[in-house]
């Protein structure tokens, strides 16, 4: 299976090694330095077909970027099914033991293609499974709910969050008037707002995010019975975020931070893995909950329906070419395979049109599925023909069905007694209306559930994020309107954000908010049903399984000439054994001398690196300590690491450096003289962050 797909990609790979340069028609190029001129100093000639061939292509290199999710990074891998789901679905790729090639693309939503990775934003999590029964696209996000309930509102949501139309500002940021204007008029966005204001929106790594299918889908078994399903990706490395102050600085120091992290992990063999989980809901239980499972602003709490793991995805190969693969990858939630079907979620229904339409435009016509990254491994056979950039060359004189001239081929499965894609036989009944079900009218219960399920530090981060964003909103009416929404979720939350804005949160929803909500529900606000749960452990990042590893974490070894090799090796060997990466940083790159004699190569200096790009810090012993004491960049490194609640270790002779900084001893600050250097340092790293420190001591950095 894997090889089949590999061969398939290989057909299109071009290797220039040892080849003469040619034009696009294969004509060898004699001189790629000079245009054709009438004399050495004369004008260029119209007949320079070699130059025109080159420029004509160059002039057309850009294609329209995705209207949303423009900034993305992708990788190849495999999915292995590990559970027996035959009672629920016929999907071949979900059969236990089946290995299916995948291509996964992660993205931010709002920013342009060249924008920073660390924007506060939702992350896209799209997976294309190249199954034996055609391509299946699970086009999800790292947040399990969405801002809106109906596809009709999507262009407005996107216009509101994107840079404002008159000034094209701000880039990749929701902290501006138009976004909060829209959000404060749409109470249905309340739940999603809590998630995007949480640390989920500033992941430490794309490898440390959950993924969600968001909508409810359907599995269909061999007897045609449907089961509602929610998809979850659970990262093996745990779910982790950075601090907001850190995110803003990473955007300056390394705006490719996430892309680089993914690329480097795969290059170094640290293949990221996610387990795929499902929540299965029998059709009979469709109306059983206090919320509507077709409403994309709701989760199904794991306490009500547990997540069962059904397989594992491993990303193990970087693309050969960003444009050909990551940029041209065309995802579409409407691409489902036999055994999986769509639900009536009105947001999902709108997506089924939009993605195919957008690919037709973005990739220049209807043949985008012939691009290598989009081709199904099992081939495509139909009578569709022609169109821009057709690359298949169908043989024969027949392109219609039914036919007798080609023996009826390609035949449809039914005629041959085979199974193909069959829609779930779901009864449909109703009048044609533009309306919203009353079961979609409760907007605050799950926003409250999310807030209540967070740790104290996580709640503080949400309050800070809301305060940051709303402080950047110039219009006081918008701020007040949003405060009224927050007040419906949790008065304490509204109060704290209100304090930061110098406003008293209104008790009732704003008249304008009500006006728009009554457009969908004339009797709004409608009393909310009693929720099944008030808290859900799975919603907090603090209690995620898999959090206790230091694998792939980057530890900055802050050194200089004269550092003790023994002191470096003491921690380096141990960290590397546990899968972390030790990175030496000195005042210059190149070779540095060890105190014991000999030297080592250092690839990074205080000039090129910043503390925000590292997970933990170690200052070894040696003559280097004197140099570091006089180096303000070093002091900033450790102060900032401390402020961002990371683990810091100091070898005995370097402990005095901590006294030169704002650092105070706590369980994340390890002194060789007082602690077990290796055990306590790795122990602190396993906690990811000492978030409690943030509350106890705010220090400048
Ligand atoms: Fe998308 N979305 N979306 N979206 N979306 C696109 O398709 C759209 C929604 C998501 O890595 C576009 O190829 C509509 C929810 C991801 O290439 C476009 C609606 C979720 C990606 C589009 C939604 C997503 C996109 C832009 C409301 C989470 C990146 C370029 C009805 C489940 C895919 C493109 C990639 C991309 C439309 C809502 C996730 C315009 C109309 C909900 C991960 O077709």
Q: Output 416 or 62, whichever has higher pLDDT.
A: 62
The CATH code for residues 68-162+191-343 is: 2.40.180.10
Q: What pLDDT, on the 0 to 100 scale, is given for residue 696?
A: 75
- What's the 650 CA to ligand 1 centre distance in angstroms? 47
State the DSSP H helix or E strand holding residue 316, giving kind and residue range, or none if neither.
Answer: strand 308-317
Beta bridge partners of 226: 220
Q: Which CATH class is domain 444-539?
A: mainly alpha
- What's the 132 CA to ligand 1 centre distance in angstroms? 25
> CA dist 225 to 134, 229, 310, 617, Å?
21, 13, 19, 55
Determine if ligand 1 sits within 6 Å of the CB of residue 151.
Answer: yes
- Residue of minimum CA distance from atom 14 in ligand 1: 351
- What's the 346 CA to ligand 1 centre distance in angstroms? 14
Question: Can you give the residue ranges of every domain in the chain?
Answer: 68-162+191-343, 444-539, 554-696
Determine if ligand 1 sits within 6 Å of the CB of residue 153.
Answer: no
Determine if ligand 1 sits within 6 Å of the CB of residue 122.
Answer: no
- Residue of minimum CA distance from atom 17 in ligand 1: 331
Determine if ligand 1 sits within 6 Å of the CB of residue 348.
Answer: no
pTM tops 0.95, yes or no: yes
Instruction: Judge residue 423's burial from the number of C-beta atoms within 10 Å of its C-beta, 0-12 exposed, 13-18 middle, 19 or more buried.
Output: exposed
Rounded to an integer, the average pLDDT of 406-426 is 93
The whole-angstrom separation of Cα 600 and Cα 594 is: 7
Determine if ligand 1 sits within 6 Å of the CB of residue 351.
Answer: yes
- Residue of minimum CA distance from atom 44 in ligand 1: 355
Is residue 1 scored above 50 in pLDDT? no
- Residue of minimum CA distance from atom 43 in ligand 1: 124
Q: What pLDDT, on the 0 to 100 scale, is given for residue 535?
A: 97
Determine if ligand 1 sits within 6 Å of the CB of residue 326.
Answer: no
- Residue of minimum CA distance from atom 8 in ligand 1: 351
Q: Output 259 or 543, whichever has higher pLDDT.
A: 259
* Interval 550-604: pLDDT, tens: 999 999 999 999 999 999 999 999 999 999 999 999 999 999 999 999 999 999 9
Rounded to an integer, the average pLDDT of 136-152 is 98
Is residue 260 scored above 80 in pLDDT? yes
The whole-angstrom separation of Cα 398 and Cα 107 is: 42
The whole-angstrom separation of Cα 585 and Cα 559 is: 6
Q: Which CATH class is domain 554-696?
A: alpha beta
Give the CA-trace dihedral at 174, 175, 179, 183, to 10 degrees. Answer: 100
**Which atom number of ligand 1 is nearest to the Cα of residue 68?**
26
Is 554-696 in the same CATH topology as 68-162+191-343?
A: no
* Interval 214-230: pLDDT, tens: 999 999 999 999 999 99
Determine if ligand 1 sits within 6 Å of the CB of residue 374.
Answer: no
Tokens 């440390």 sit on residue: 208
Rounded to an integer, the average pLDDT of 620-641 is 96
* Interval 479-536: pLDDT, tens: 999 999 999 999 999 999 999 999 999 999 999 999 999 999 999 999 999 999 999 9
**647 neighbors 616 (Cβ within 8 angstroms):** yes
- Residue by residue, DSSP assigns 36-80 as -BSSTTSPBPTT-HHHHHHHHHHTT---PPPSSS-SEEEEEEEEE
Residue 4 banded pLDDT, cuts 50, 70, 90: low
**691 neighbors 457 (Cβ within 8 angstroms):** yes
Count each helix (H run) and each strand (E run) in the chain, helices first. 19, 18
Catalogue the active-site residues: 69, 141
């Amino acid at each position: 299976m894997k090889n089949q797909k590999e061969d398939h990609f290989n057909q299109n790979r071009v290797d220039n090694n040892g080849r003469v340069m040619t034009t696009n028609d294969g004509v060898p190029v004699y001189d790629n330095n000079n245009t054709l001129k009438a004399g050495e100093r004369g004008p260029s000639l119209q007949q320079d077909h070699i130059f025109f061939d080159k420029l004509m292509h160059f002039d057309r290199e850009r294609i329209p970027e995705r209207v949303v999710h423009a900034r993305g990074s992708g990788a190849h891998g495999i999915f292995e099914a590990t559970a027996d789901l035959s009672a629920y679905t016929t999907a071949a790729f979900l059969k236990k033991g089946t290995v299916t090639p995948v291509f996964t693309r992660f993205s931010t939503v709002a920013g342009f293609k060249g924008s920073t990775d660390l924007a506060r934003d939702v992350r896209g999590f799209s997976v294309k499974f190249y199954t034996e029964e055609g391509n299946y696209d699970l086009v999800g996000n790292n947040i399990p709910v969405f801002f809106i309930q109906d596809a009709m509102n999507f262009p407005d949501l996107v216009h509101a969050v994107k840079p404002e139309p008159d000034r094209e500002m701000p880039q990749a940021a929701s902290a501006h008037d138009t976004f909060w204007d829209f959000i404060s008029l749409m109470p249905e966005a309340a739940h999603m707002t809590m998630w995007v204001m949480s640390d989920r929106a500033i992941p430490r790594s794309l490898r440390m995010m959950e993924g969600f299918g968001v909508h409810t889908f359907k599995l269909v078994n061999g007897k045609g019975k449907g089961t509602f399903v929610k998809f979850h990706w659970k990262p093996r490395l745990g779910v982790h975020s950075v601090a907001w102050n850190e995110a803003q600085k990473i955007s300056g120091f390394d705006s490719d931070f996430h892309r680089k992290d993914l690329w480097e992990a795969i290059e170094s063999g640290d293949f990221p893995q996610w387990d795929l989980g499902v929540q299965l809901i029998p059709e009979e239980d469709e109306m059983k909950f206090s919320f509507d499972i077709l409403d994309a602003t709701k989760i199904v709490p794991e306490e009500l329906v547990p997540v069962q793991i059904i397989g594992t995805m491993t990303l193990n190969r970087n693309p050969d070419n960003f444009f050909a693969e990551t940029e041209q990858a065309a995802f579409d939630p409407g691409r489902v395979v036999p055994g999986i079907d769509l639900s009536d979620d009105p947001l999902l229904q709108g997506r089924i049109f939009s993605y195919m339409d957008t690919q037709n435009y973005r990739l220049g016509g209807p043949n985008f599925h012939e691009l290598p990254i989009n081709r199904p491994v099992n081939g495509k056979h139909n009578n569709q023909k022609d169109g821009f950039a057709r690359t298949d060359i169908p043989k024969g004189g027949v392109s219609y069905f039914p036919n007798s001239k080609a023996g009826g081929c390609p035949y449809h499965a039914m005629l041959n007694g085979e199974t193909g894609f069959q829609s779930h036989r779901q009864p449909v009944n109703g009048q044609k209306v533009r309306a919203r079900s009353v079961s979609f009218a409760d907007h605050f219960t799950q926003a409250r559930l999310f807030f209540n399920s967070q740790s104290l530090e996580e709640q503080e981060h949400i309050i800070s994020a809301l305060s940051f964003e709303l402080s950047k909103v110039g219009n006081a009416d918008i701020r007040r309107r949003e405060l009224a929404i927050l007040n419906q979720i949790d008065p304490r939350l509204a109060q704290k954000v209100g304090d930061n804005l110098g406003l008293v949160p209104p008790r009732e929803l704003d008249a304008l908010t009500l006006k728009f909500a009554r457009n969908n529900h004339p009797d709004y606000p409608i009393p909310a049903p009693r929720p099944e749960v008030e808290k859900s452990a799975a919603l907090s990042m603090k209690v995620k399984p898999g959090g206790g590893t230091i694998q792939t974490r980057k530890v900055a070894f802050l050194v200089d000439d004269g550092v003790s090799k023994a002191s470096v090796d003491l921690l380096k060997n141990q960290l590397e054994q546990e899968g972390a990466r030790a990175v030496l940083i000195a005042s210059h790159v190149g070779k540095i001398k060890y105190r014991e004699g000999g030297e080592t190569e250092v690839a990074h200096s205080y000039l090129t690196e910043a503390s925000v790009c590292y997970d933990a810090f170690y200052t070894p012993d040696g003559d280097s300590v004197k140099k570091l004491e006089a180096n303000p960049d070093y002091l900033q490194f450790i102060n900032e690491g401390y402020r961002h609640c990371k683990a810091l270790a100091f070898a005995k002779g370097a402990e005095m450096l901590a006294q030169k900084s704002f650092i105070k001893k706590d369980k994340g600050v390890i002194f060789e003289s007082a602690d077990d250097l290796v055990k306590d340092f790795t122990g602190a790293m396993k906690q990811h962050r000492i978030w409690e420190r943030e509350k106890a001591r705010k220090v400048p950095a």
